[in-house]
């Protein structure tokens, strides 16, 4: 009696969380979600970091109006929850004539947020380079832009690797927020499948997909953190 | 320009929505008051476990930390809120958010505390022990105060992230600030309430972000 009862409870558990029939049925949808999550993540990492680096370089010219603008941009994007910006862009912009797909909104918003954090990190890196490096580079006849590109950035990058990796990982995980505006990434596929099937298996599949995707990323981040620990030379 | 002002800065709609938003802000504040201390305490406990001398406990804890750092908070929250009822564990939105945040925040705070404790030299612990303090006393009175000071910017930065993260509670219909704003938006077909919510977040968090920047530059020097 007792064993059969535990057996059936175990059956019920696998039935609701690891249902083989539903795994077969929805693995295609989850795979599609994984693809979309990866696409957005890669796009966001590239545009966000590139824009952040560009802003930090612009800031080094120390042209007041531009610096005020960059500081405000960075502060505002660091203070606002990503979901607020996503809802604002997705539901608000169409009323002034900018209609964007959920995919585009997610890409744009996450890129801007990553750019803000990356700018702050790159700028801290640039500031950490001693004045002598600037002066030496300029005295050999390099212009400001050349000094930044060939002398300052290569040295500053090393110090930015660890904090930038952590921040980038945190922001790529925000791709899950896309589900709120109907982007078909993993979470969206999983919760749609869950409400269709009335079973928790798709949700479990989605969670496992995220873990499989992000555990290596977190592990690499941990390795990078020890390898490139922020040290002042 | 007029259309822009009307769709984003419609003061009439804002003033009509303000009682709703203020109630939402109250829930957000309550949520922060619960999840931040929970996360700090959980994080410290987990950090001490991760620094344990037993390799099983140490590696087990580190695996657990990485697990919860790998799962996006929204996925964890939705799993707790709409997945667990299938296993007969039904939680109210508020409890679900607290549980999810506790698991996620503890992992992040733990990493920060761990770095902080590791930054305090072993000599400090040894010196404290040799003056006759017990291990727990040495930890509380000697190691932790120094550790906390060393990672103060990171603790503050993570706390800002936690406050921002409370906005995802809107997805499980907890009526916090963003949920209220979005509700007002869908009733009025106008984005001004969301702009207002953004303004409230900015008002609260901008000074803290500024403070953090100054603190980071000071510690860096």
ipTM: 0.89
At residue A98, φ and ψ (nearest 5 deg) are: -105, 95
For chain A, the domains span 25-227
Task: Provide the whole-model pTM.
Answer: 0.90
Q: Name the closest residue on chain B to residue A74, using Cα atoms.
A: B209
**Which chain B residues have a beta carbon less than 8 Å from that of A76?**
202, 206
CA distance B194 to B190: 9
What are the pLDDT digits (tens) for B118-133? 999 889 989 999 999 9
pLDDT bracket for residue A7 (50, 70, 90): low
Q: Token pair of B155, please?
A: 């603790």
How close B132 comes to chain A (CA, Å)? 34
What are the pLDDT digits (tens) for B135-188? 899 999 999 999 999 999 999 999 999 999 999 999 998 999 999 999 999 999
Q: Which domain holds residue B137?
A: 2-220
CA distance A123 to A81: 22
CATH number (domain holding residue B93)? 1.10.3720.10
pLDDT attached to residue B221: 46
The 10 Å Cβ neighbour count of residue B88 is: 8
Instruction: Kindly state the DSSP code that residue A89 receives in the 8-state scheme.
Output: I
Angle at B100 between CA B148 and CA B147, to 5 degrees: 5
Contact: B72, A83; criterion CB under 8 Å: no
Crossing angle, helix A64-79 and helix A20-59, to 10 degrees? 160
Give Rg (Cα) of chain B. 21
CA pseudo-torsion sign B208, B213, B219, B221: negative
Please provide the DSSP assignment of A148-205 as one string.
IIIIIHHHHHHHHHHHHHHHHHHHHHGGGGGGGGT--SHHHHHHHHHHHHTSSHHHHH
End-to-end CA distance of chain B: 46
What are the pLDDT digits (tens) for A38-76? 999 999 999 999 999 999 999 999 899 999 999 999 999
Q: Token pair of B149, please?
A: 């000071």
A 142-171 near B (Cβ less than 8 A): 170
CA distance A181 to A42: 19
A220 touches chain B (CB under 8 A): no
What are the pLDDT digits (tens) for B61-98? 999 999 999 999 999 999 999 889 888 888 999 999 99
What are the pLDDT digits (tens) for A93-140? 988 888 899 999 999 999 999 999 999 999 999 998 888 999 999 999
Contact: B83, A200; criterion CB under 8 Å: yes
Q: How many domains is chain B built from?
A: 1
CA distance A187 to A179: 6
CA distance B117 to A142: 45
Which CATH number fits the domain A25-227, given the four candidates 1.10.40.50, 1.10.533.10, 1.10.3720.10, 3.40.50.300? 1.10.3720.10
How close A74 comes to chain B (CA, Å)? 10
Q: Is A5 left (phi over 0), alpha (psi -120 to 50) or beta?
A: alpha
- Using a CB cutoff of 8 Å and minimum separation of 24, what contacts does A144-149 make? A144/A60, A144/A61, A148/A57, A148/A60, A149/A57
Q: Name the closest residue on chain A to residue B217, using Cα atoms.
A: A124
């Amino acid at each position: 009696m007792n064993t059969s009862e535990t057996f059936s409870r175990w059956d019920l558990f696998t039935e609701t969380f690891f249902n083989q029939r539903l795994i077969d049925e929805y693995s295609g949808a989850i795979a599609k979600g994984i693809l979309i999550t990866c696409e957005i993540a890669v796009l966001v990492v590239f545009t966000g970091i590139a824009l952040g680096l560009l802003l930090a370089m612009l800031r080094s010219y120390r042209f007041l109006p531009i610096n005020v603008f960059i500081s405000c941009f960075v502060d505002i994007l660091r203070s606002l929850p990503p979901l607020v910006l996503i809802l604002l862009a997705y539901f608000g912009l169409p009323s002034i004539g900018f209609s964007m797909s959920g995919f585009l909104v997610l890409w744009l918003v996450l890129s801007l947020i990553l750019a803000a954090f990356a700018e702050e990190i790159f700028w801290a890196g640039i500031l950490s380079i001693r004045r002598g490096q600037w002066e030496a580079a300029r005295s050999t006849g390099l212009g400001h832009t050349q000094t930044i590109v060939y002398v300052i950035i290569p040295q500053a990058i090393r110090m930015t690797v660890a904090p930038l990796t952590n921040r980038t990982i945190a922001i790529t995980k925000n791709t899950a927020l896309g589900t709120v505006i109907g982007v078909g990434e993993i979470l969206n596929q999983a919760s749609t499948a869950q409400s269709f099937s009335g079973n928790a298996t798709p949700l479990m599949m989605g969670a496992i997909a995220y873990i499989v995707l992000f555990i290596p990323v977190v592990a690499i981040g941990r390795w990078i953190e020890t390898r490139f620990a922020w040290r002042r030379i | 320009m007029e259309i822009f002002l009307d769709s984003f800065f419609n003061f009439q709609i804002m003033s009509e929505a303000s009682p709703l938003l203020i109630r939402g802000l109250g829930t957000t504040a309550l949520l922060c008051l619960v999840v931040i201390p929970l996360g700090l305490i959980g994080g410290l406990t987990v950090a001490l476990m991760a620094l344990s001398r037993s390799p099983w406990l140490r590696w087990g804890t580190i695996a657990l930390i990485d697990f919860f750092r790998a799962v996006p908070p929204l996925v964890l929250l939705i799993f707790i809120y709409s997945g667990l009822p299938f296993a007969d564990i039904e939680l109210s939105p508020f409890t679900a958010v607290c549980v999810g945040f506790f698991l996620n925040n503890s992992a992040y705070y733990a990493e920060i505390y761990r770095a902080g404790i590791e930054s305090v030299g072993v000599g400090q612990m040894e010196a404290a022990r040799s003056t006759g303090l017990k291990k727990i006393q040495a930890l509380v009175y000697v190691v932790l105060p120094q550790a906390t000071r060393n990672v103060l910017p990171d603790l503050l930065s993570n706390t800002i992230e936690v406050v921002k993260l409370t906005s995802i509670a809107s997805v499980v219909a907890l009526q916090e600030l963003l949920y209220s704003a979005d509700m007002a938006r869908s009733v009025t077909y106008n984005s001004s309430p969301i702009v207002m919510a953004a303004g409230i977040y900015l008002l609260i968090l901008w000074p803290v972000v500024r403070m953090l920047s100054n603190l980071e530059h000071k510690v860096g020097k």
